[in-house]
Amino acid sequence: MPYLQPFDPWKSPLCTCPTKYSLNPYTGCGHRCLYCYATSFIKDFYHPRPKKEFLRIIEREIKNIPEGSLISLSNSSDPYQPLEETYKLTRKFLELLLERNYRILIITKSDLVLRDLELLAKLRCAVSLTITSKTLYPKLEPFAPSYEKRLQTIKALSEAKIPVSVRLDPIIPVLNEGEILEILDEIAPYVKHITVSTYKAKPDSLKRLIDAFPEKKSFFEKLYLKEGKRFGNAIYLRDEIRYKLIYPVYQKARRYNLSFATCREGLKDFKNPEKCDGSFLIP
């Protein structure tokens, strides 16, 4: 299977992303987020490893990708996860693009992206930073950078004039729904676009959440296993619950005059096709 391939979100009719290519320099991810959906389809996901012969293969594959294309790093791992400090595969790939005209979307939770600030400034790129919680990240995302570091990263990207959007997701009922609104207050001066989505359960991620928050076991089981609805390969909350979780964020984003989209929710009021991933910010 090629390393650089057309983005295919399991053919989900709810995905509103623009056409793009997807690249994961690493298989698996060291941030070990409890809610991660990729653990359900990638073996040994929490034991990340660099892709074999990454540079040699990617140098060949990039020649087949039309210039001007949008390339997204990464959709099933974090391109600036801890391994990147050692292997620098993401950086080497970006260096490869210096003489070429591609549009790059970086999706990360890590302040390590700031190491490549000068490089990013020379490319046509935007960064989408994900924040889920101010206080629960040590439990929800045990090996990802702190909330404070992510906030500093957003500010530094904004000062460097690199377009930055924020994914406030996943919104998990009761756990972080209040905090998401506080976070939005703090990031609003530095970002142009917000993407939100609710937590869609898979058997393994739901088990991890329940193990981490045993006092919420019956609550989560009721919302997802009893009342939730299966869509594709995930279990969604009922529409009215998702609407209630998203609407306050939408209202606040509007007050701050930020562009707003949801990710694979399918709720008609919040549709913003082609803008959901923040790639429209790329110069």
Return the number of the residue (140 or 184) whose C-beta is nearest ligand SF4: 140
Return the number of the residue (83 or 185) whose C-beta is nearest ligand SF4: 83
Stretch that binds ligand SF4, among 5-13, 24-32, 112-120, 275-283 (CB under 6 A): 24-32
Residues 132-161 that bind ligand SF4 (CB under 6 A): 141
Rounded CA-CA distance 270/38 in Å is: 25
Q: Which amino acid is at 14?
A: L
* The total number of residues written for the chain in this structure: 283
Residue 31 in the binding site for ligand SF4 (CB under 6 A): yes
88 neighbors 34 (Cβ within 8 angstroms): no
Per DSSP, helices labelled H in the chain are 54-61, 83-87, 89-96, 117-121, 137-140, 147-159, 177-187, 203-212, 217-220, 239-255
Residue 264 in the binding site for ligand SF4 (CB under 6 A): no
Rounded CA-CA distance 29/174 in Å is: 26
Rounded CA-CA distance 143/151 in Å is: 17
Stretch that binds ligand SF4, among 30-38, 95-103, 171-179, 194-202 (CB under 6 A): 30-38
25 neighbors 71 (Cβ within 8 angstroms): no
Stretch that binds ligand SF4, among 32-40, 148-156, 243-251, 272-280 (CB under 6 A): 32-40
163 neighbors 202 (Cβ within 8 angstroms): no
C-alpha separations of 43 from 40, 48, 95, 160, 245 in Å: 8, 10, 29, 38, 32
Q: Which amino acid is at 51?
A: K
Using CB under 6 A as the binding criterion, the count of chain residues that bind ligand SF4 stands at 10
Residue 167 in the binding site for ligand SF4 (CB under 6 A): no
Give me the least distance between CB of 132 and ligand SF4, in Å please: 9
Give me the least distance between CB of 226 and ligand SF4, in Å please: 26
Residue 242 in the binding site for ligand SF4 (CB under 6 A): no
Stretch that binds ligand SF4, among 31-39, 119-127, 147-155, 178-186 (CB under 6 A): 31-39
Residues 66-85 that bind ligand SF4 (CB under 6 A): 77-78
Residue 202 in the binding site for ligand SF4 (CB under 6 A): no
Residue 32 in the binding site for ligand SF4 (CB under 6 A): yes
Residues of this chain that interact with ligand SF4 (CB under 6 A) are 29, 31-33, 36, 38, 77-78, 109, 141
